[in-house]
Amino acid sequence: MERGLSRNTVASYRRDLDRYAEGLTAAGITDLAGVRASDVAGHLARLREEGLASASAARAVSAVRGLHRFAVRERLVPHDVAADVRPPAPPRRLPKALDVDQVERLLAAPDSDSPLGLRDRALLEFLYGTGARISEAVGADIDDLALDVDPAVVLRGKGGKTRLVPVGGYARAAMRAYLVRARPTLIIGGRGTPAVFLNSRGGRLSRQSAWAVLHRWASAVGLPVDGPYAVSPHTLRHSYATHLLDGGADVRVVQELLGHASVTTTQVYTLVTVERLREVYATTHPRAR
């Protein structure tokens, strides 16, 4: 609560600390006062041996370091034995973004003749049209929408922060079609949830089901759904940011639209556009090679 973390982050930290506690117990350590720096470093080594990705291992070490800082602050232990254990530096990865024509094929894939098809198209248009995280999309309520004015939607992001985001004409049309022609049919089987996106039983669409929707239609149009280049809901968020910057949007504006606390988080997308410039040059200039 003090840090304003999202439920998903708290759940991840809880799993990380449960894993740490299990490792300490297996080593015969039952009290934080008995933990040494070598035990913390050994925990990090085990995480890497288990094949945990560097980003996940870094988060796990961050959770462990936070626990020991808390223990010192609360005077449960005299020293912070984790202070000198550094998390692994994750490899620098550029966000994966789809080309505009790939996005258009994906958005056009769901049919418009069934309630679920209308919902799927609205969901995909919403994700790409607003740059929303998947948790923000499935967490959106009817009262968060104002499709007849700008900005058109209120998104509730990480740490309970809210932001106003405009919605383009295509997304508005898809949302209106879903809200008028599909949602009233879907909600009949539910209990009157205020959620925008509903499942087939009339309840709020879950993150897992939203992933399944995207994978279904990505596969239908030939986009990868497995491997390092698999399409995910975040892929549409990456594409949203990249296409805005490609079109000349200021990075500070994109920062506000994405809900990033720091512009340095948004600046990674400027690297994507530089990579795209290099690719276009390499494939089109007669003397590029």
pLDDT digits (tens, 9 = 90+) for 180-233: 999 999 999 888 899 999 999 999 999 999 999 999 999 999 999 888 788 988
Angle at the Cα of 271 from the Cα atoms of 235 and 256, rounded to 5 degrees: 65
Composition of the chain by helix, strand, coil, percent to 5: 60, 5, 35
Domain with CATH 1.10.443.10 in the chain: 100-282
- Tokens encoding 88: 């692994």
Higher-confidence residue of 108 and 283: namely 108
Kindly state the average pLDDT of the residues 157-174. 85
Residues that are catalytic = 133, 158, 234, 237, 260, 269
Given this model, what pLDDT does residue 205 score? 96
Given this model, what pLDDT does residue 247 score? 86
Residue 167 contacts residue 153 (beta carbons within 8 Å):
yes
Convert the pLDDT of each residue in 109-146 to its tens digit.
999 889 999 999 999 999 999 999 999 999 999 999 98
Homologous superfamily, domain 100-282: Intergrase catalytic core (1.10.443.10)
Model's pTM, two decimal places? Answer: 0.68
CB environment 123-142: b (16+ within 10 A), e (fewer) = bbbbbbbbbbbbbbbbbbee
Convert the pLDDT of each residue in 4-40 to its tens digit.
778 888 898 999 999 999 999 999 998 888 999 999 9
